[in-house]
Amino acid sequence: MAVKIEKKIVKYNVVSEEKEQAAAKEEAKRAPRAGEGNVVHLTEELERPEMLLGSTYKVKTPLSEHALYITINDIVLNPGTSNELRRPFEVFINSKNMDHFQWIVALTRIISAVFRKGGDVTFLVEELRSVFDPKGGYFKKGGKYMPSLVAEIGDAIECHLRMIGMLKSEELDEHQRKLIEEKRAQYDATLKEAESRDPGDFPDGAELCGKCNTKAVIMMDGCMTCLNCGDSKCG
C-alpha cells in the first residue's frame, strides 16, 4: 500500500519485527476485553466511623461463675436510601473470668477482620458451632445443647445475623407444624394420665420384687431397685 508523504521528514527509525510484536502486545493489554466495554472499576476504602450501632448478648455457661458479654457493632451502608444495609463490623467479648482471655482476644480480632473484609460472613456461624470441647458440652437455658464455649459464641453471632437480616429464620412447613402439635398433644395426655394415677402405683414395665413380691423393681442408677421395699442388687 502506497503512502503519500506530505510533510517534511525530520527523523526516521527502522522498526524491527521484535518491536512491532511488543507494540502489538502493549496495545492488546490496553484494549478492553470482550464483554467489559468501557467499564471503570472503582475501589472505596471503608474507614471505621466515629459511632457504630451495636448489640450486646449475655452468655451464662456452667463452665464459669462469670458471664460473657458479646458485643457486635454494625456499620450502616448507604444510609437513608432504598439500598440501606446493616452489616457486622467488629466484635468484642468481655468477662470477669480471665481464664480464657488470651484465645478470646485472638478470636475476636479474627472475627472482626472477617467482618471488615465484607461479603458473605454467615459461614462463621457453622464454623464456630462445629467446635467441640473434649471435656464435654452443656445444655443452655431452654434445653439447647452447646458442644463448647466457642459454639456458644457462634450461636450469639447467629442470633445477631438473624436480627439484622443477613440470615433468614427457618420456618417450619405445614406438615412439620402438624406433627409437632400431635406430639405435644400426646405428651400432654401422658402428663394428665400420670397426674390421675394413684401415687401408690408403680411405673409401667416394673418387674416383680423377689423380696416383697411387689411389681415395683426398676432400673435406677445402674441397679435393679425395688420402689416398694428398697431392695437392690447393689446392696
CB 89 within 8 A of CB 116: yes
Please indicate whether residue 131 or residue 16 has the higher confidence score (pLDDT). 131
CB 216 within 8 A of CB 205: no
List the alpha helices (DSSP H) in 3-85. Answer: 17-30
Intra-chain end-to-end CA distance of the chain, in Å: 115
pLDDT digit string, tens, across residues 72-91: 999 988 888 888 888 999 99
171 domain residue, yes or no = no
What count of other Cβ atoms lies within 10 Å of the Cβ of residue 49?
Answer: 11
pLDDT digit string, tens, across residues 31-66: 555 545 555 444 456 678 888 999 999 999 888 888
Answer with the one of 163, 179, 207 that is the final residue of a domain.
163
How many structural domains is the chain composed of?
2
Helix, strand, coil proportions of the chain in percent (round to 5)?
A: 30, 20, 50
Residue type, 200: G
128 domain residue, yes or no = yes
pTM, full prediction: 0.57
Tell me the sheet residues that pair with 218. Answer: 225
202 domain residue, yes or no = yes
Compute the average pLDDT of residues 181-204. Answer: 64
Q: Which residue has the cell 414395665?
A: 205
Range of the domain at 155: 53-163
Estimate to the nearest angstrom the gap between the alpha carbon of 229 and the chain centroid: 52
Q: Which of 56, 61, 58, 65 is nearest to 146 (CA)?
A: 61
208 domain residue, yes or no = yes
Percent share of the chain, pLDDT over 70? 74
40 domain residue, yes or no = no
13 domain residue, yes or no = no
Q: Please, which residues have CB within 8 angstroms of residue 59's CB and are 6 or more apart in sequence? A: 67, 68, 69, 70, 152, 153, 156
Whether residues 144 and 70 fall in one domain: yes
Whether residues 128 and 229 fall in one domain: no
Give the span between the Cα atoms of 212 and 181, in whole angstroms. Answer: 43
118 domain residue, yes or no = yes
Residue 146 scores a pLDDT above 70: yes
pLDDT digit string, tens, across residues 153-182: 999 999 999 998 888 876 666 776 776 677
Whether residues 157 and 203 fall in one domain: no
Q: Which of 50, 118, 124 is nearest to 89 (CA)?
A: 118
Whether residues 208 and 121 fall in one domain: no
Give the span between the Cα atoms of 225 and 211, in whole angstroms. Answer: 11
Whether residues 64 and 136 fall in one domain: yes
Residue 200 has what pLDDT? 54
Whether residues 61 and 158 fall in one domain: yes
